[in-house]
């Protein structure tokens, strides 16, 4: 007979397969990207002389980390930030380079 008190309870809540990067209004772009990268187990490196204040909240959502990073790169292009996203997977380093 199994003692139910010793059986761990199942975790509640649905599994969410989506990755989301939230860039909060009134935050610096470098800080929000660094916080997200660290939460994903990456080592962030901001390699630009410029940083940007986020005016309104932006959510980038994809089904993988690469999807989110591709969207981030597209955002940089559309806003003419002059920034490039580079992920070095072997070292798990996310670099944001200035052009």
Distance CA 89, CA 95 (A): 11
Domain that holds residue 82: 17-98
The whole-number pLDDT of residue 14 equals 58
Query: Does any domain span residue 4?
Result: no
Query: Does any domain span residue 40?
Result: yes
Does position 1 have pLDDT exceeding 90, yes or no?
A: no
Contacts of 26 (CB under 8 A, 6+ apart): 53, 54, 55
Overall average pLDDT of the 74-83 stretch: 95
* pLDDT-based confidence at residue 18 (cuts at 50, 70, 90): confident
Tokens of 9: 């309870």
CATH number for the domain spanning 94: value is: 3.55.50.70
Contact 96, 85 (CB under 8 A): yes
Query: Does any domain span residue 41?
Result: yes
Query: Does any domain span residue 51?
Result: yes
Query: Does any domain span residue 32?
Result: yes
The whole-number pLDDT of residue 99 equals 85
Overall average pLDDT of the 71-89 stretch: 96
Distance CA 33, CA 31 (A): 6
Query: Does any domain span residue 42?
Result: yes
Does position 88 have pLDDT exceeding 90, yes or no?
A: yes
């Amino acid at each position: 007979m199994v003692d139910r008190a010793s059986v761990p309870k199942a975790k509640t809540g649905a599994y969410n397969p989506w990755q989301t990067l939230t860039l909060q209004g009134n935050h610096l772009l470098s800080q929000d990207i660094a916080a997200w990268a660290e939460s994903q187990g990456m080592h962030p490196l901001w390699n630009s002389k410029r940083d940007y204040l986020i005016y309104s909240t932006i959510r980038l959502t994809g089904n993988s980390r690469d999807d989110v990073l591709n969207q981030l790169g597209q955002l940089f292009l559309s806003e003419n930030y002059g920034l490039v996203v580079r992920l070095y997977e072997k070292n798990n380093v996310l670099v944001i380079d200035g052009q």
